[in-house]
Structure 1
Amino acid sequence: MFKHLIKLIWNKRKQNFLFLSEILISFLVIFALCSMFVYYFLNYSKHNGLQYKQVWSVAYSTPFKSENKDSLSQFYEQIRQQLKALPQIEELSFSSSNYPYSESYSSTGLTFNGKVNSMINFYSVENDYAKVFSMELLEGRWFDKSDVSDAKQKMVINATLSKMMFGDSKAVGKHAGDYDNKEQFKIIGVVADTKADGDYKPVAPAFYKLMDTLAFNWTGHLLLKVGPDADAAFESKLSKTLASLMKNSDLEIKHLEDMRESKNSETLIPMMICLTIAGFLIINVALGLFGVLWYNISQRRSEIGLRMAIGASKSAIADQLVTETVVMTTLALLVGVFFAIQFPMLNVFNIPALVYLIALFIAVIFIYALVFICALYPGKQAAAIQPAIALHEE
């Protein structure tokens, strides 16, 4: 039976070429779309790692600059104490501009065992930064007041960086050099990964470094964890309080929950556009397959009539046409899978191989289902042909 089907397909190879090409192109497009959706879904399914609700950011133009550490410390400590006196503020921390969901990025390299690991996000933070975001500590500890006066450089790294540099071994207590390996940092803690660039983006390796006092000369962001009773009236009050403390400073208050939605929309909007295009593609492919199969049946009426005249049942006729379609689909998919499998093998776009393998499986199942559905009705119509009428037309 199978040998006979292959012979029929080969004898009509010119007519079947269009069908095979359509299946191949459709598979490659579906595979690409599935890869994108699977990639974003796997990123989305991971734990967020930070508490963004009821967290506000305050951007300000530096109101006071000085090379005197005592003067800087006194000025910003006064701001800290007056803000902490407000009952709606639970935690606060000054921070570099590249806090979660912001549009700012800072990256550098770290050296370990002579190997330079580049493109690592680094954050300049204070002791209470982890409390603002309720970050989860996996190993060691976070910064405390004793680290402020300690001249030794220390850092806290995230789980991704720990895995990248140290594998499954413990990172706390080890040292890593800067990009040029001129300065050494002692690792005192490991925190859970935080999806600082939105829910759909991958977690990047990162480390946190304690701000020194002189950093207030360039730091222009304050992060606040507020209580559930912090409303628009309190936001107005906070703005006035900050304006009185930071005279002649431009102030802007943002809610991290809104910033997160904005970040996610940067991914969701293109995804929705691609999904819409994919929907039209699937409809066009289905109509095209249906039309090709219908045309093939109309061209083979005499063959179908002859087979039925010599005893072939209606179910056998329908099964033959559906099976032919599935076999041709398999031939096209073999070529498509050959090209698709190159993506995980060559680590294209530095995306995990699992993403491509899941997308490949989904795309194959989807194409088979689509072809099978499109072939059912033409197969039934072929089985309904009356042999006497078909042979008479011939």
Structure 2
Amino acid sequence: MFRHLLKLTWKRKSRNLMLSLEILLAFAIVFGVAAFGARYAQLYRMPLGFDAADVWSVTIQAGDNGKQHFDAGVYDNLRRGLLELPEVSGVAFAAFEPYAMSTYTSDMRRGGKDPQVHTELIEVDDGLAGVLGIRLAEGRWFSELDNGSAARTVVINRRMAEAMFPGQRAVGQQFIDGEGGKPGVSYKVVGVVDEFRAKGEFEAPVNFAFLRFEAGKNDGDIRTIVLQVKPGTTRDFEKRLNRRLKLIRNDWAFQITPLSTLRKNMLHTRATPLVLVSVIAAFMLVMVAFGLFGALWQNTTARIPEIGLRRAIGASAAGIYRQIVLEQFMLSSIAIALGLVLLVQLPLTGVLGESLNWTVFAAAAVLSMGVIYLLSLLCALYPGWRASRLSPTEALHYE
């Protein structure tokens, strides 16, 4: 049966060429969308490295364009005043909160001639780990024990540790800013976390480092307050929180947002491109389906005498139906095989990096194959049914 179908396909290769190209185009479109979605699904299942539940952020708007430097007393007054609220169970400070669009990067290296490691950085205080539920895999978090340290203490994630210190224990190691940062400043690793993805579930894993902030000892300030509130705290707390902040510093403005809201906005922002691409791909797929259906209809009509002859020599209606559908499946298989040969070059060459790893490629290939075979089946059903219902006498007299 397979050899017979292959011969029939080859004899009509000029007609089948356009069908195969249409199927190949549809497969490429579906593969692109499926790979996009599969990567998002893969990222969503990865651990974040922090717990955003019952956490709020407060952005300080001092109106000085960042020129004013806060001393340790400012941070201490804010911490003490906020902890007096019964709804607040933890207070920490950071350069920016999780799910923010902010990014600060630098290229770090162990020494002057060592390769650079591109790293995302954030300045935080000693209390952030407790507020966000960050768990250490090795070493410890910052503490007052680090006051006066010659090297600036940092906590890095596992990915950076493996890139910076391959095959070695990262805790206790030191590195410098490879971009020529502040001369004479080195960084000492005191702890390692398994993972931290500050921008949320759809962010790809990156090298990440927490820099310890010590008021009055660093060049700038950190102006985001991260609050851990008690479970069940509602948005009504925002008014009371703002009143307390105004009592502490009446000359400042404060932007208060639960991390759950920031998370929702971030997921919506990241998912919008996937939705738009899916809509465009669906429209293109419908157009391809119409073209495929029309081509199959025309081919079936042109083969009416052939079908009539087969019916006259004893072929059943079910056999005719099956032949039409299987021929279409064979064309689809040829187009899919060619598409896979072309697309497999992407993970092999690594041109798209981790975005198209082998897990994503396999998932996208399986999904795409399923969609194309389903599309082929739907497009072949009516032409096959019409061909199977032809009367041998009518078909043999067809002109």
Calculate the TM-score normalised by the size of structure 1.
0.90
Aligned-pair CA distance for 1:303: 0.6
Partner of 1:226: 229
Aligned-pair CA distance for 1:279: 3.0
Pairwise mapping of residues 263-282 of structure 1 onto structure 2 (< 5 A)? 263-282=266-285
Q: Deviations along 1:281-316, whole A, 9 cap, x unmatched?
A: 333333332322222111111011112212323333
Answer yes or no: is 1:259 the counterpart of 2:267.
no
Q: Secondary structure at the match of 1:93?
A: strand
Q: Secondary structure at the match of 2:245?
A: helix
Q: Secondary structure at the match of 2:116?
A: strand
Assess if the C-alpha contact under 8 Å between 1:62 and 1:217 holds in 2.
no
Q: Distance in 2 between matches of 1:201 and 1:66?
A: 28
CA 1:230–1:320: 2 relative to 1, 3 Å: closer
Partner of 2:398: 393
Stretch deviating more after TM superposition (23-32 or 344-353) = 344-353
Stretch deviating more after TM superposition (181-190 or 294-303) = 181-190
CA 1:308–1:64: 2 relative to 1, 3 Å: closer
Aligned-pair CA distance for 1:237: 2.3
Q: Secondary structure at the match of 1:149?
A: coil
Answer yes or no: is 1:361 the counterpart of 2:366.
yes
CA 1:220–1:364: 2 relative to 1, 3 Å: same
Aligned residues: 392
Partner of 2:198: 196
Partner of 1:130: 129
Q: Secondary structure at the match of 1:251?
A: strand
1:295 to 290, 294, 298: 298
CA 1:166–1:384: 2 relative to 1, 3 Å: farther
Stretch deviating more after TM superposition (107-116 or 56-65) = 56-65
- Match for 1:191: what amino acid? V
Partner of 1:100: 98
Answer yes or no: is 1:155 the counterpart of 2:160.
no
Q: Distance in 2 between matches of 1:353 and 1:283?
A: 29
Greater share of helix:
1
Partner of 2:54: 54
Q: Deviations along 1:154-213, whole A, 9 cap, x unmatched?
A: 211012222333456532222223215854322111113233212122122100111122
What residue ranges of structure 2 are gaps of 5+ in the alignment? none
Q: Distance in 1 between matches of 2:314 and 2:68?
A: 102
Aligned-pair CA distance for 1:137: 1.4
Q: Distance in 2 between matches of 1:63 and 1:144?
A: 31
Q: Secondary structure at the match of 1:124?
A: strand
Partner of 1:85: 84
Aligned-pair CA distance for 1:133: 0.4
- Match for 2:384: what amino acid? G
Q: Distance in 2 between matches of 1:385 and 1:112?
A: 78
Partner of 1:75: 74
CA 1:358–1:169: 2 relative to 1, 3 Å: farther
What percent of counterpart residues are identical? Answer: 29
Q: Secondary structure at the match of 2:147?
A: helix
Stretch deviating more after TM superposition (269-278 or 110-119) = 110-119
- Match for 1:116: what amino acid? P
Stretch deviating more after TM superposition (311-320 or 50-59) = 311-320
Partner of 1:10: 10
Stretch deviating more after TM superposition (110-119 or 141-150) = 110-119
Q: Distance in 2 between matches of 1:266 and 1:62?
A: 28
Aligned-pair CA distance for 1:373: 3.5
Stretch deviating more after TM superposition (374-383 or 123-132) = 374-383
Q: Secondary structure at the match of 1:176?
A: strand
Aligned-pair CA distance for 1:233: 4.4
Q: Distance in 2 between matches of 1:383 and 1:231?
A: 66
Partner of 1:26: 26
Answer yes or no: is 1:341 the counterpart of 2:344.
yes
Assess if the C-alpha contact under 8 Å between 2:320 and 2:388 holds in 1.
yes
Assess if the C-alpha contact under 8 Å between 1:63 and 1:247 holds in 2.
no
CA RMSD in angstroms comes to 2.7
Aligned-pair CA distance for 1:241: 2.1
Q: Distance in 1 between matches of 2:328 and 2:213?
A: 66
CA 1:334–1:227: 2 relative to 1, 3 Å: same
What residue ranges of structure 1 are gaps of 5+ in the alignment? none
- Match for 2:395: what amino acid? A
Q: Deviations along 1:80-108, whole A, 9 cap, x unmatched?
A: 222222222111112113x3111211111
Q: Secondary structure at the match of 2:191?
A: strand
Partner of 1:370: 375
Calculate the TM-score normalised by the size of structure 2.
0.89
